Chain A
Amino acid sequence: MIKYILKRFLGMIPTMFAIITIGFFLIRLAPGGPFDQEKKVPEQVMRNIEAKYNLDKPLYQQYLMYMGSVLRGDLGPSYKYTDNDVNFYISNSLPNSMLLGSISLLVAIILGVLVGISSAINQNSWIDYTGMSIAVIGISVPTFVVGPVLMYFLALKWQLLPTSGWISSSNGLKTLIMPVITLSFPYFATIARLSRASVLEVLRSSYIRTAYAKGLRSSVVIFKHVLKGAMLPIVSYLGPAFAGIITGSIVIETIFRVPGLGKFFVQSALNRDYTLIMGVLIVYSLILIIMNFVVDVVYAFLDPRISYR
């Protein structure tokens, strides 16, 4: 098992190396540069700027310099936001994305599992239909529609909440409500459907029939036997879900003015801010790879056959 974990862990290194290398060259292929403006600067000024950021050097040399600084933990200066480096912007904005993502995922898990179980136990009743109808809406309506609709009703029409902002503002925790609802909605929907299907499957298995036959109370069967078996697919979904919810909050961050990493990701791509794009790409890739690694390890613990393959 330890050998398996070590192997998987070391496997992350070439993956990251490949991502950084491909990312570096791919971004440079995009037309337009970081310093192109509508008010074009004269050639001499452009030459000065390019020399300052080593953009006048051959691409392979820029790549080697970049890799060298990444290995030292320095993600370089931002070409657009020149007062601070990429490390600064990432360390300032990532915690906000993580906080929003974690709360949203927690809400999605609690509500999703509750609705999923209720729907499965009350299969084909109004509870089941209501729960699954909400889940269908959550899956099919995109967040960029849900967000503004919530803002229209909760903030503009009923004046219950501020339109947007972050917890550091005077509105405090109230600012979390709408982005959390919007971000957790599709994940809630998926978890609810997964839990329902999984609980139904377990309910039909023979060991549950045996438990009922032994005369156990319904609540004991559900909480002691059904849930234990039914939650495995949910647990395995949480890895990619966590990575997705952190990296997928870009639209929500823009609509609700959350000072998270997603906004930098979009802006840096539009600005061709090469170093900032690379920095965010590295962070997002690390989150994804680490979560996949965690899932692999958890799987290996749950099903030891995997680690022998």
Chain B
Amino acid sequence: MKKNLLFFIVALMTVVSSFASNNAEEGNMKEPVVFRLINGGEPASLDPAMIQGVPENRIYQSLFEGLVAYDYETARAIPGVAQSWTVSDDNTVYTFKLRQTSWNDGVAITAQTFVDSWLRELDPNTAAPYAWFPSMFVKGAAEYNAGTAGAEAVGVKAIDDYTLEVTLVGPLPYALDAFAHYSFGIAPLHTIAEHGDSWTNVDKIVTNGPYKLKEWVPQDKLVVEKDPKYWDAKNVKVDQFVYLPVEDNNTGYSMFLNGEVDWMTTVPTDRMKEGLLRDDVIVSPNLATYYYVINNKVEPLTDVRVRKALSMSINRTELTERIGQAGQIPSAAMVPTMEGYPALEGNTFNVAEAKKLLAEAGYPNGEGFPVLPILYNTSEGHKKMAEFIQAQWKENLGIDVTLENQEWKTFLSSKNQHDYSIARSGWGGDYQDPNTFLDMFVTGAAMNDMQYENPEYDALIEKAATMKAGAARFEALREAESMLVERDQALIPLYTYVKVNCIDLNKWGGWAPNVLDLHPPRQIYKK
């Protein structure tokens, strides 16, 4: 009996001590750093050649890396797979020196990887939705994508395994930053050849970014974890990123307030006032313009005096303060202020001048002016903006407009078919250069919804595309913009957007507001 008791006590002590040592070991283990964020919608794709949109771009930056990546403070290019580069005297040929790195399955990444990936993106059979972006930069890319030239026409060449040469269509000063865009990304063609379209599934995907895909449950979450094979893995601080596809802003904001996520990318409009009082809600200017597009072919909007009167009768300061409420910057210019290019003044609020112009056009005090509709897509914010402008035009010009609300795709269809008179629009720049706001309004361009046709404008944009960076080039672009929004008033800019982000910067570093609202995961760390 005594023997049994002794054995029991010894056994119990052994078990207890083993538990104690286990606990001690666990206590010493470092807790993984996990960063959870609200990523808007379900990602449409992870394939760099197929993606478009902000949620996909955020995931792209954790899984993949191109020639260059974005700096978290300036959103400008920093070395990625390319460790250095040189530019030809005429600024049209970039030569990149690549670092010796590989996909996370060990297959080497060489200059040929870039050539093959870019050609895949541009191949008409791939039908990449963003193929137009590299086509704007790389010589021969547009022709290859259109099927009018072969792959050999594309200006990308592997000089040797680690030297890549890219020939541009002109001396585009913003090209280097643009190379960080996902449409210039690389894809593991050996994996794609093996698995086809399903190569992005968790068990098959091969990547080269700071993180690798760990889990992807559609409409639930996408988890990436630090990839020890990444060339700069020692400087990657967050162990895991959890991307939550939450479309409902109220749910996302509630999750942030409840401490369930570390970064929420907006504040719901009806909670903006209380949100802006918080220390962890950060408002910053965004390289994007909210504007009304005018159908230049619809009477009486064909008359520039009418278009100017419409622009000059809107009090933009009141619009942003009363309706926007998030600190949007009132602006009558299409291009927001950027380095070396302050925003134009534009045709700003001037009721007397607006009335005079409208009278000259044959509508004194708005008499005889037809009732036109303002078209906007379903959104409480757009509705309030339209109501405000409706009231301004009634009060300041004496004209009546109606409001027409359409569901998103219907709205896009109406605009595409030019079946509107005045419609809401917005444009976010793809890179930090005025050209991203201006080249889309040349005659016949896809985004030229108002059917603006001005050979002088087209010539200026074309001229700027052949000029080197500097004051003279900005002057040409400025002249073009002045033509667009001051002389011809082809559209009515209203304000520069701001980005509202919810993140506790006392807890997280390596995240800073920037005009492109790009926040590469590689640089984020826990303080």
Check: A51 CB closer than 8 A to any chain B CB.
Answer: yes
Which of B129, B197, B220, B414 lies in contact with A166, CB distance below 8 A? B220
Using A31-B410, A44-B145, A83-B198 as known contacts, say yes or no to A151 and B247 having CB atoms under 8 A apart: no
Which residues of the other chain, A, contact B147 by a CB distance below 8 angstroms?
44
Which residues of the other chain, A, contact B132 by a CB distance below 8 angstroms?
41-42, 45
Please report the C-alpha to C-alpha distance between residue A52 and residue B123 in the assembled complex, in whole angstroms.
12
Please report the C-alpha to C-alpha distance between residue A33 and residue B408 in the assembled complex, in whole angstroms.
11
Which of A32, A43, A84, A260 lies in contact with B446, CB distance below 8 A? A43
Please report the C-alpha to C-alpha distance between residue A89 and residue B129 in the assembled complex, in whole angstroms.
22
- Asked if A81 and B218 sit within 8 Å, CB to CB, the answer is yes
Least CB distance from B288 to A in Å reads: 11
Binds A, one of B75-83, B164-172, B254-262, B516-524: B254-262
Contact with A along B417-456 (1 / 0, CB 8 A): 0000000011100000000000000000011000000000
Please report the C-alpha to C-alpha distance between residue A53 and residue B23 in the assembled complex, in whole angstroms.
57
Check: B28 CB closer than 8 A to any chain A CB.
Answer: no
Binds B, one of A66-74, A154-162, A298-306: A154-162
Contact with A along B445-475 (1 / 0, CB 8 A): 0110000000000000000000000000000
Which residues of the other chain, A, contact B409 by a CB distance below 8 angstroms?
30-33, 36, 270-272
Which residues of the other chain, B, contact A270 by a CB distance below 8 angstroms?
407-409
Q: Closest chain B residue to A260 by CB distance? A: B219
Please report the C-alpha to C-alpha distance between residue A44 and residue B132 in the assembled complex, in whole angstroms.
9
Across the A-B interface, how many residue pairs have beta carbons closer than 8 Å? 146
Please report the C-alpha to C-alpha distance between residue A264 and residue B245 in the assembled complex, in whole angstroms.
12
Least CB distance from B150 to A in Å reads: 16
Please report the C-alpha to C-alpha distance between residue A272 and residue B446 in the assembled complex, in whole angstroms.
20
Which residues of the other chain, A, contact B52 by a CB distance below 8 angstroms?
37, 39
Binds A, one of B37-45, B65-73, B500-508: B37-45
Q: Closest chain B residue to A264 by CB distance? A: B219
Which residues of the other chain, B, contact A48 by a CB distance below 8 angstroms?
124-128, 131, 145
Least CB distance from B262 to A in Å reads: 15
Q: Closest chain A residue to B428 by CB distance? A: A39
Using A48-B124, A83-B198, A164-B255 as known contacts, say yes or no to A42 and B217 having CB atoms under 8 A apart: no
- Asked if B218 and A155 sit within 8 Å, CB to CB, the answer is no
- Asked if B127 and A92 sit within 8 Å, CB to CB, the answer is no
Binds B, one of A112-120, A234-242, A251-259: A251-259
Which residues of the other chain, B, contact A53 by a CB distance below 8 angstroms?
127
Which residues of the other chain, B, contact A23 by a CB distance below 8 angstroms?
none
- Asked if A257 and B244 sit within 8 Å, CB to CB, the answer is yes
Among the interface residues A37, A80, A163, which one has the most CB atoms of the partner chain B within 10 A? Answer: A163
Using A254-B247, A257-B244 as known contacts, say yes or no to A82 and B44 having CB atoms under 8 A apart: yes
- Asked if A36 and B413 sit within 8 Å, CB to CB, the answer is yes
Least CB distance from B336 to A in Å reads: 17
Please report the C-alpha to C-alpha distance between residue A272 and residue B46 in the assembled complex, in whole angstroms.
20
- Asked if A82 and B258 sit within 8 Å, CB to CB, the answer is no
Check: B200 CB closer than 8 A to any chain A CB.
Answer: yes
Q: Which 5 A-B pairs have the closest CB atoms?
A: A32-B409, A259-B220, A259-B219, A52-B127, A31-B413
Q: Can you list 13 A-B contacts (CB < 8 A)?
A: A36-B413, A38-B426, A81-B44, A156-B254, A159-B258, A163-B255, A169-B220, A169-B221, A257-B251, A263-B247, A267-B41, A267-B42, A270-B409
A contact set with B: CB distance below 8 Å: 30-33, 35-45, 48-49, 51-53, 77, 80-84, 89, 92-93, 148, 151, 155-156, 159, 162-166, 168-169, 254-257, 259-260, 263-264, 267, 270-272
